[in-house]
Amino acid sequence: MFTWQEIFSKNGFPPESPDLSASHCLLLDSLEGLKRFLDGVHIRHCLVKPYQENKNYPVVEARELLPSFDNDMFEYKELPGFAMVAFARQLDYFSETFQYERLHPVRQSPDRSAGQTEGPNRAHNLMTLTSRLPRRHHEIFRRQFCGTDVALPENYSALMPYLLNMDRAHVLALDAENRFQLAGVFASFPSDIDSELKRFGLRIGRFVYGDSEMYERNRMFVYQFLMELYGFPIVSERRTSSALFARKLHKTGERFLLRVLGQTDRTLTTYTSMEENRKYPLLEKIALVALDKDQNDSLELIDEKGFFLDKSKRVIILRVTYRQHRYDAHNLRQERALSVAGQEILHPLTGESLRGLNIIKDSTNMLFRLNDIVRGEHTGRIIYKRTEIVENTDNDEKRLKFLSYWLAKHQGRMIGYSDEFFFQLDKILSSYLYSPQHDENFGNLREIYQEVCSRFSYIQQARRVRILEDLCQRTFRGAPITYRRMMNETVKLLNELKFEIVNFFPALVDAVIICLETILHDRYIQRTYLEKPEASLSRAGREIRRNYGKLVSLHDSFKAVRKARLGYPAAKTAFAV
């Protein structure tokens, strides 16, 4: 496999004329080879080159690559943006499900590297590309590419500055010789967001046909979850249409690679279908990320291996891959659509990967950042409730808004943290939120203060309910357990939890009831310990039977709480003891 050094000149910038040899082009006959080639071209043209030309380039903060993704704060119109799709097949112009301007395949002479192409097709391709460029580029474009065929992959690198000036996407596909070439430009990806959103909401049970009130309550959740599955918050049309088109291509069994770069997120987002039998396309993001000063071990290793793009500013090229999660209404972390599956740093010259470093999920770094927030020493910016940009933490109002954002973003992860790590988080937050010295200031910020305390309280209680969810699967602290211990631990946990529902969280009460009903409906328990005469049971069996009765009573108690607070209809208990 070729390296980036073989694609580009020594100074790291794309040359004015093609520099790929014929031997390299032979590798562009698979999606894997094409992706390697495109990584080099796109990273250099769309990330590295703008960074080196702009002293104030807005590098991405590591947290921005951690789900759930932040909404866009600023639009950087001077930065490049594009969309492209590649198909591992030849295109059938009339039968394709999207619109684009076709570039014609070119018959190759025996000496491919000489660039001898059939004149009419070459002229047609040059004219098509020229017509879709802003007029100010026409003359220099014709002069630069006169006598060459713009469809050949040898020319893709030199074409990239012009492709970045096109409003719409470009298309790559296999030619008659089963090699990738530029097959089209000015492509529009179909984006039927209304139908996709409603179908998805109906499938996960958040929508019901004809129920407009339910649709209104749940529409934003469904919209956010659907977009998050494909790596974005609710964003611009270019990225939304790219995500939905990738969804459509994957569902129809296409072998494809789709990539999009937003001017706001400064991130190359890629969808591929190179692995079979996956429910969703593979998702990855590449961005220029500045490391925190506190990540000492990572900084030393990156420096030693020579993986810094800019050592003085601690800037690296980071690639993150993600794992998509199916929606599960019975899971406490049901809003989690994505989690990080892998991270790797890319060498700026060779493209070599450095794995094994935890850049965006560094727990130590998280504790440092939380400490900085509560002390008022954190310098950064967030979007509070999607509308307000908050910079720095130099007063209590800003600190509380940062904490509200921080708790909301990391809620799913905090629910799953180990007891030891969460104890440190709890200590930092409690020392700030419940300190008497802040009472007067918090009194003037009652609404936002209550919001933060409520979020924190929810996470604390949710951690207990998560243990209950594990007990339903007969696991405790990661280890399998017996039915006897499952019943004992469940009764103990619920007796403690029922006194903590002072701050009522409907989702947690619902989760508790679902867990209880899972245990109470367990056919093995009913058949082995309830349907047999008590006298025939062992000592352990009688203990399980007694605890079953306690769980029935606790089930009724939690349903009574839900009914009293929300007016849910009472359901007659149908569990025999």
pLDDT at 282 over 90: yes
Residue 139 has pLDDT above 80, yes or no: yes
pLDDT band at 334 (very low <50, low <70, confident <90, very high): low
Instruction: Look at residue 429 and tell me whether its pLDDT is greater than 60.
Output: yes
pLDDT score, position 530: 87
pLDDT band at 70 (very low <50, low <70, confident <90, very high): confident
Report whether pLDDT(209) > 50: yes
pLDDT-derived band at 19 (thresholds 50, 70, 90) equals: very low
Span 233-255, pLDDT tens digits:
888 788 889 999 999 999 998 99
Work out how many domains the chain is built from and give that number.
2
Specify the pLDDT at position 177: 87
Q: What are phi and psi of 96, to 5 degrees?
A: -70, 155
Rounded to 10 deg, the angle between the 539-566 and 506-520 helix axes is 150
Confidence check: pLDDT of 63 > 90: no
Give CA–CA dist 366/381, Å, rounded.
16
What is the rounded CA–CA span in Å between residue 47 and residue 54? 11
Q: How far is CA 65 from CA 267, 321, 389, 569, in A?
A: 9, 10, 19, 43
Q: What is the mean pLDDT of residues 27-51?
A: 90
Determine the average pLDDT of the residues in 405-424: 84
CA distance 303 to 295: 12
Strands in 353-355's sheet, in edge-to-edge order, are: 99-102, 180-188, 169-174, 82-87, 256-261, 268-272, 282-290, 315-324, 338-346, 353-355
Tokens of 236: 């611009």
Q: Is 248 helix (H, G, I), strand (E, B) or coil?
A: helix
Going by the DSSP 8-state scheme, the letter that residue 568 receives in this structure is P
Does residue 463 form part of some domain?
A: yes
Q: Is residue 331, in this structure, part of any structural domain at all?
A: no
d(CA 300, CA 353): 16
For residues 486-513, give the mean pLDDT.
83
Q: CA separation (Å) from 266 to 76, 309, 341, 347, 351?
A: 9, 16, 21, 19, 19
Q: What count of other Cβ atoms lies within 10 Å of the Cβ of residue 345?
A: 25
The token pair that represents 66 in the structure block: 């951690």
My answer on whether 481 and 463 are in the same domain is: no
DSSP 564: H
Structure-model confidence comparison of residues 223 and 7, the more confident one: 223
Task: Report the pLDDT averaged over residues 498-517.
Answer: 80
Q: Report residue 227: phi and psi, to 5°.
A: -65, -40
- pLDDT > 70? residue 412: yes
Residues 493 and 395 in one domain: no
Indicate whether 191 pLDDT > 90: no
pLDDT confidence tier of residue 100, bands split at 50, 70 and 90? very high
Tokens 């904490």 found at: 403
Among 437, 456, 472, the domain boundary falls at 472
Give me the pLDDT at residue 479, please: 87
Same domain, 468 and 479: no
When pLDDT is averaged across residues 408-415 and rounded to a whole number, the result is 83
pLDDT-based confidence at residue 286 (cuts at 50, 70, 90):
very high
Of the three residues 472, 502, 522, the one that is the final residue of a domain is: 472
Last residue of a domain, one of 472, 490, 514: 472
- Give the lowest-confidence range in 71-85, 116-130, 147-161: 116-130
What's the whole-number average pLDDT of the chain?
84
pLDDT value of residue 11 = 34
Nearest partner of 48 among 301, 312, 287, judged by Cα: 287
46 pLDDT more than 90: yes
Q: Please state at what angle helix 419-433 crosses helix 446-472, rounded to 10 degrees.
A: 160
- The answer as to whether 526 is a domain residue is yes
Q: What is the pLDDT of residue 276?
A: 66
Distances (CA, A) of 430 to 339, 426, 530, 559: 27, 6, 45, 31
Higher pLDDT, 74 or 206: 206
- The DSSP annotation for 468-521 comes to HHHHHTTEETTEE--HHHHHHHHHHHHHHHTTSTTS--HHHHHHHHHHHHHHHT
Q: What is the mean pLDDT of residues 412-427?
A: 84
Residues 466 and 367 in one domain: yes
Which of the two residues, 335 and 467, has the higher pLDDT score? 467
Mean pLDDT confidence for 73-96: 90
Question: Residue 159 forms beta bridges with which residues?
Answer: none
The answer to whether 181 touches 20, Cβ cutoff 8 Å, is no
- Whether 110 is in a domain gets the answer no
| pLDDT of 572 above 80 | no
**Which domain covers residue 542, as residue numbers?**
475-577
Q: What pLDDT score does 361 carry?
A: 72
Spatial distance between the Cα atoms of 454 and 452, rounded to a whole number of angstroms: 5
Indicate whether 497 and 508 sit together in one domain.
yes
- Indicate whether 465 and 481 sit together in one domain: no
Rounded average pLDDT over 314-322: 93
Q: Cα separation of 38 and 208, whole Å?
A: 43
Q: Classify residue 344: in a domain, yes or no.
A: no
> pLDDT higher for 47 or 360?
47
Checking if the pLDDT of 385 tops 90, the result is no
Cα–Cα distance measured from residue 429 to residue 27, given in angstroms and rounded to the nearest whole number: 54
Cα 329 from Cα 32, distance rounded (Å): 36
Collapsing DSSP to helix, strand or coil, 14 comes out as coil
Half-sphere exposure (CA, 13 Å, Cβ side) for 212?
0
270 pLDDT tier (thresholds 50, 70, 90): very high
- DSSP letter assigned to residue 423: H
Residues 459, 368 share a domain: yes
| pLDDT for the residue 422 | 87
Q: What's the pLDDT tens digit per position in 539-556?
A: 889 999 999 999 999 998
- Its pTM stands at 0.81
Q: Looking at the domain assignment, is residue 430 inside a domain? A: yes
pLDDT of residue 112: 47
Structure tokens at 465: 């309910």
Q: Report yes or no: 374 and 428 within 8 Å, Cβ to Cβ.
A: yes
Q: Span 97-114, mean pLDDT?
A: 70
Domain contains 490: yes
pLDDT above 90: residue 321: yes
Same domain, 489 and 565: yes
pLDDT of residue 27: 56
Residues 494 and 461 in one domain: no
Same domain? For 440 and 483 the reply is: no
Spatial distance between the Cα atoms of 486 and 471, rounded to a whole number of angstroms: 6
Residues 370 and 460 in one domain: yes
Q: Are residues 439 and 459 in the same domain?
A: yes
121 vs 107: CA distance, rounded Å? 9
Domain-located, residue 464: yes
- H/E element holding 145? helix 138-145
Distances (CA, A) of 192 to 241, 276, 294, 570: 8, 25, 45, 41
Q: Which of 80-89, 173-182, 284-293, 404-413 is predicted least confidently?
A: 404-413
